[in-house]
Chain A
Amino acid sequence: MTDSVQEWEVVIGLEVHCELNTASKLFCGCANVFGDEPNTNICPTCLGLPGSLPVVNEAAVTKAMTLGRALGCTVSNSIFARKNYFYPDMPKDYQVTQYEEPTNSDGELALGDGSIVQIERAHIEEDTGKTTHVGGDGRIHGAGHSLVDYNRAGVPLVEIVSRPVIRSARQAKTYVEELRAVVLAIDVSDARMDQGSMRVDANVSVRPVGSDELRTRSEVKNINSLRSLGLAIEYETRRHIDLYEAGESPLQQTRHWDEAAGRTRDGRSKEDADDYRYFAEPDLVPLEPTQAQIAAIDESLPPSPALRRTRLAEAVGVDPADVAIVVMRGQDQLALDAVGIGADGAKTLARIENELAVEDWSAITADALADVVTRETTGKLSATQAKHVIAGLVEAGGTVDEVVATLGIASVDSGELVGMLDALIEQHEDEWARLADGDRKLQGFFVGQIMQLTNGQADGKIVQTLIAERLR
């Protein structure tokens, strides 16, 4: 089995749909809001009533082009097209999208792991409504009836289509994470997979290692988290390999990720669904952005996550991949500032990465962070103490001295305690070795020694923590 696994390589292309966070929908003035009462944000146009016509929301086009430019795409004159198929949550029974001549084409995304994923296109389209099947376990087969909410119908989407250059489930996840970071940095989408404002379809195929052919792929839909994306790709990869090794071939088909069962399932039959009869949407005119508009978008772009990683990595002296999380969380400026003040780079990164993984870390200033890290580096605070101080700063704000006082750390300089412990370990090598072997009784011995040396001024808890740290 292991031998045969190594003969195959997986080929993945991702289609990521991002709902743009515009105030209104793509072709009408209805509010673009998630979670409202069903069918409250609707009008003749997004319901596709007879006689209604679409009018393009300029803000959506600007956001789409901004995303395109952030992904290094060429922005060209573009046209809308109709994708024709019948589905009850699609009001017109066609979707307005872009087919030939999309707005954004030929971009790329540099990932935190150093790889680069080419992007074929990032086109604009409208979202559909949402169907809920009532009865029959929520599945269409056996459902008593279906309810359709058209609030989402007509919400602007950008579909980012990667080239089939992704080579692992891990890289696929990194790509989506990176895309999410870009989208958030330029504020064009909430990019929440759990709410469906970012949706990922994975085109998966396998081929013998060393080959450059593209074999039959399956398109996996209904992936609702990064974790599922990885699992679905792994499942599909295995399934394809198994089929080939059994002398069979996978079918080109749409499959759905079944989260509960941890597997993909046959989607709707594609026998009559593949011909979408695309043609240019006659109700809309071409989008023709001027060079000035594109230049203005370029000027508005914040530095890309890739650039921010390089910048921070250089300042700290580590590999760009090591600062990926901090950049993704948007804490790179804090790190740069703290390091600029003089804090140690590696320690600063470690503290941010570990201690600021909380929702709201905005109370901490670069000055305070640099102060804590410097105290840690100079032995005035132990690692544990530094963590506690940072937690205190995040929670209550204030200066480092205030937090240290509140935590009662100031009574005996923990730097001194560290020195005492070092000396004690040297003097009592045997006892320390036994403690390290698990003889817990000896912890009391060392605490007692330090209490003696400090005339009982040291905080017993801190001493215990110092010992525990040293043992680790």
Chain B
Amino acid sequence: MRATELAEAVRSGERSATEVLDEYLERIEKRNAELNAFVHLDEDRARARAAAIDETVAAGQDPGPLAGVPVALKDNMCRAGEPTTCGSRILGDWRPPFDATVTSRLSAAGAVIVGKTNMDEFAMGSSTENSAYGPTRNPHDISRVPGGSSGGSAASVAADLVPLALGSDTGGSIRQPAAFCGVVGVKPTYGAVSRYGLVAFASSLDQIGPLAANVADSALCLDVIAGHDPLDSTSVPDHFVPVSPAVDAGVEGMRIGFVSQLGSGSDGVGGIDPEIDAAAKRAATALEEAGATVGEASIPASVYGLSAYYLIAPAEASSNLARYDGVRYGARVDAKTTAEMMVATRTAGFGDEVKRRIMLGTYALSAGYYDAYYDKAQRVRTLMAREFASAYESFDVLISPTAPTAAFKLGERTADPMTMYVNDVCTIPANLTGDPAMSVPFGNNSAGLPIGVQVIAPALGEFDMFRVAGAIEEALR
């Protein structure tokens, strides 16, 4: 059942939140051992919360737009008193004493938070294989990865273990797993959703967003979590225009550009599976049939996106992850001196990919290398923003494939980090520019695996983005 319908049923008293929760918990019980989508369940709190919502309804009051809807949080979002591991050993049994802003907004809207989902350690990865709690599997084919780093959230929605989940997206970590799992994944405009309570990976790129089975559900969730938050200095001060009304608004008269560099053309980023390129082009045709005009957009700097991203994100991460030193919280490996204790703790606590990126980032920021690496990467970022801005003079919204390939096999890409990194080639540009982007399922490939189409819009252009996403979804019906 759709989240929008579930909430309506609970609000009207047609179904109880408790009954809805039981149904989902039962499915989790049945399938989670195989999928490993959840790393932590808050069953008792969820039941108490569902009961409270039922009481609110019984008292004739409205619990809110997500009344009784079970929601999962990626395990890098704080919920007071609950484990928050970020898929790492280093946080040990640390429990945050506060709620993330998204957590409190979901609760205030009547959602029932059921638990935390698996992820690549500190959101570094594209397959959810880099987790201290083991890999998550793709519900469409359990020999394959769900994508990452929000693989647990994507898999839990795809398997209908929850109707809604939150993920975080630093270079594609919501959109790529959404594409791999055949669900909708939204990375809002940087600053549209508060980062307060999101454990940082790369602060200037991180953004929280919803994963849902359909566009309308993701819109409903985004409308609840978006909006200014004084606790996050980078939060956009503007009023967030609700996107739910956009889903059925159609694309009549809209100008849509297909980003040529993110297709399989020769001037592009390379490595795009022709089957996926073809699907994205079919989506463009469908939009044309729905009344939009479609043309080719050019973002030449796209080809530098991956390189820029793999300097900026690790640089920020090397600083953000410094605090895990064993002094104040989390795991500690004792040693003779404080410095040795820090080294021992970090050596034992972090996985290989996290260590690799800390080293990359430390190097990129080092004296003598800063200008050649970090600073140059920031210039690419500026250049890319300029190219997107100029594309938006001709187009309202851009589209492209979400990921170069469909879901790959577990273990297939763990040996060579570069083959993993190229997964993010289509999604990274929107993180670098801060623009909103989302992935919408658009059929399957010849092997029956889901394919996603990416919709990108200018900053705070979520309304137009959801008009296009709604039309793409509609075209498949």
Contacts and interface: CB of A to CB of B under 8 A. Distances in A.
Nearest to B122: A50
A78 to B, nearest CB: 14
B204 interface: yes
A442 B100 CA distance: 90
Nearest to A88: B327
Contacts of A284: 233-234
A50 B322 contact: no
A94 B199 contact: no
Given A84-B365, A86-B342, A284-B233, A51 B325 contact: no
| Chain B interface SS verdict (over half) | loop
Q: Closest 9 CB pairs between A and B?
A: A93-B322, A282-B204, A277-B365, A282-B203, A50-B199, A51-B78, A51-B197, A88-B327, A275-B367
Interface string B323-357: 10101110000000011001000000000000000
B130 interface: no
B473 interface: no
B233 A51 contact: no
Interface residues of B, number: 44
Nearest to A141: B337
A69 to B, nearest CB: 24
B254 interface: no
Interface of B: 76-78, 84, 86, 91, 94, 96-98, 100, 195-200, 202-204, 230-234, 315-316, 318-319, 322-323, 325, 327-329, 338-339, 342, 362, 365-367, 370, 374
A51 B328 contact: no
A51 B362 contact: no
Contacts of B315: 279
Given A51-B84, A86-B322, A94-B319, 17 more contacts: A50-B91, A50-B94, A50-B323, A51-B76, A51-B78, A51-B98, A51-B196, A51-B197, A53-B231, A53-B232, A88-B325, A91-B328, A275-B366, A282-B203, A282-B204, A284-B233, A285-B233
A92 interface: yes
A422 to B, nearest CB: 76
Contacts of A47: 328
A54 B197 contact: no
Nearest to B339: A86
Contacts of B78: 50-51
Q: Which of B76, B230, B316, B362 has the most CB of A within 10 A?
A: B316
B292 to A, nearest CB: 36
B233 A54 contact: yes
Contacts, number: 98
Q: Which of A51, A54, A86 has the most CB of B within 10 A?
A: A51
Interface footprint category on A: 20 to 34
Nearest to A48: B323
A146 B326 CA distance: 13
Given A51-B196, A148-B327, A84 B319 contact: yes
Nearest to B374: A279
Q: Which of A54, A92, A282, A285 has the most CB of B within 10 A?
A: A282
Given A84-B322, A93-B325, A283-B203, A50 B233 contact: no
Given A92-B322, A277-B362, A277-B365, A50 B96 contact: yes
A283 B233 contact: yes
Contacts of B231: 53, 55
A50 B325 contact: no
B281 to A, nearest CB: 36
A49 interface: yes
A277 B365 CA distance: 5
B106 to A, nearest CB: 15
B339 A82 contact: no
A56 interface: yes
Contacts of B100: 51
Nearest to B361: A277
Contacts of B367: 274-275, 277
A70 B232 CA distance: 32
Interface string A68-98: 0000000000000010101010011110000
13 contacts: A50-B86, A51-B77, A55-B231, A84-B365, A86-B339, A86-B342, A88-B327, A92-B322, A277-B319, A277-B365, A282-B204, A284-B233, A285-B234
Contacts of A51: 76-78, 84, 96, 98, 100, 196-200
Contact of A91 (B77, B230, B323): B323
A84 B200 CA distance: 16
Interface string A277-294: 111001111000000000
Nearest to B194: A53
Contacts of B327: 88, 148
A137 B63 CA distance: 61
A93 to B, nearest CB: 3
B96 A49 contact: yes
Given A50-B78, A279-B319, A88 B198 contact: no
A44 interface: yes
A283 B329 CA distance: 22
A88 B338 contact: yes
Contact of A82 (B199, B319, B328): B319
Given A88-B338, A92-B322, A279-B374, A53 B195 contact: yes
A279 B369 CA distance: 13
A92 B320 CA distance: 8
Contacts of B319: 82, 84, 94, 277, 279
Nearest to A281: B203
A82 B362 CA distance: 13
Contacts of A285: 233-234
Nearest to B77: A51
Interface string A51-64: 11111100000000
Nearest to B191: A285
Contacts of A86: 322, 325, 339, 342
A283 B195 CA distance: 9
Contacts of B366: 275, 277
B195 A279 contact: no
Contacts of B202: 282
Nearest to A131: B338
A44 B91 contact: no
B347 to A, nearest CB: 14
A133 to B, nearest CB: 10
Contacts of A55: 230-233
Nearest to B206: A282
B199 A44 contact: no
Interface string A240-253: 00000000000000
Q: Which of A88, A146, A279 has the most CB of B within 10 A?
A: A279
A91 B322 CA distance: 9
A278 B329 CA distance: 25
Contacts of B232: 53, 55
B365 A283 contact: no
Contacts of A277: 318-319, 362, 365-367, 370
Interface in A194-253: none
Contacts of B203: 282-283
A170 to B, nearest CB: 36
B64 to A, nearest CB: 24
A94 B318 CA distance: 10
Contacts of A275: 366-367
A91 to B, nearest CB: 7
A282 B312 CA distance: 11
A50 B362 contact: no
B414 to A, nearest CB: 26
A78 B318 CA distance: 24
A93 B97 contact: no
A274 B368 CA distance: 12
A324 B97 CA distance: 53
Given A44-B96, A283-B203, A285-B233, A53 B196 contact: yes
Nearest to A56: B233
Contacts of B195: 53
Given A48-B323, A51-B84, A146 B233 contact: no
